[in-house]
Amino acid sequence: MTDNEKYIEQYFAKANLQLNELQAGRFLMFYERLVEKNKVMNLTGITEFDEVLQKHFVDSVYGLEEFVSKASYILDLGTGAGFPGIPLKILYPETEFVLVDSLQKRLRFLEEVKVELKLDKLSFEHGRAEDLGHDKRYREKFDLVLSRAVANLSSLSEFCLPFTKVGGCFISYKSGACEEEVSSAEKAIGILGGKIEDIRKFMLPESDISRSLIIIRKTKETKKQYPRKAGIPLKTPL
């Protein structure tokens, strides 16, 4: 391992995450591509090595083990520069992932990352959740749907629950204080066939960053009228 790879390995180890050499190498390559491409394209406000390791890489995967290890088909909705999808893909190379975003140029960057990191069982879909949620290839097909920093929980539930299989899970990454957001989304979640199962709160290891994971179980099919037309879920949340 190179020094930088060792550093990444040790960084993850502090969060109780064991990386092998291939995984450490892939994280390093992803970091390098991200920072390089960020000079010509708006991908992230965070570029300093330690900060990316913590706020993007570890944050994407921390606390998800229990859910990701049980799922065989996972969607990352609004992946942006690849979060949480790419870090999870690096940790779980055998699991099938689809990364969705409405911005084509971000997905083009991720296509390059996929080739460079030699990742497989990974595909990208360009489009808006409001449209793709009606696509038969994707509707109610995923064991696990994840989304970080995309929309408020009510709107996000209308984006994500249509993709989630009955019996599967939708998990929203939120900052620590999410009580109000959760209680005002409860009705929407119910209408869409979901049920709040748990809210996990923790600090990211060796940081003062608080994180909440909102675990929503899909208990019933989502009615055909959802998601509503593009723009509506954000403008007038259920």
129 binds ligand SAH, rule: CB under 6 A: yes
Q: Contacting ligand SAH (CB under 6 A), which of 13, 22, 149, 177?
A: 149
Closest CA to 83 of 149, 130, 23: 149
Q: Identify which range of 18-26, 123-131, 160-168, 175-183 contacts ligand SAH by CB under 6 A.
A: 123-131
Residue 44 beta carbon to ligand SAH: minimum distance, rounded to whole angstroms:
7
In the complex with ligand SAH, the residue whose CB is nearer, 131 or 197, is 131
> For residue 29, how many other CB atoms are within 10 A of its CB?
16
If DSSP codes are grouped into helix, strand and coil, which group holds residue 102? Answer: coil
**Which residue carries 């998601």 as its tokens?**
227
d(CA 49, CA 121): 27
Strands 164-175 and 73-77: unpaired
Nearer to ligand SAH, 9 or 61 (CB): 61
Q: Select from 74, 150, 178, 214 the one that contacts ligand SAH (CB under 6 A).
A: 150
Secondary structure in 3-state letters for 104-148: HHHHHHHHHHHHHCCCCCEEEEECCHHHHCCCCCCCCCEEEEEEE
* CB-based contact 141:183 (threshold 8 Å): no
The nearer residue to ligand SAH, 80 or 168, going by C-beta atoms, is 80
Task: State in angstroms the smallest separation of the CB of 85 from ligand SAH.
Answer: 8
Residue 8 binds ligand SAH (CB under 6 A): no
State how far Cα 154 lies from the chain centre. 17
Binding residue for ligand SAH (CB under 6 A) from 17, 53, 61, 78? 78
Helices and strands (H, E) in the chain, number of each type: 11, 7
Closer to ligand SAH by CB, 9 or 169: give it. Answer: 169
Residues in the chain: 238
Site membership for ligand SAH, residue 80 (CB under 6 A): yes
158 binds ligand SAH (CB under 6 A): no
Q: Which residue is nearest to ligand SAH (CB)?
A: 80
| Contact set with ligand SAH (CB under 6 A) | 78-81, 83, 100-103, 106, 128-130, 148-150, 159
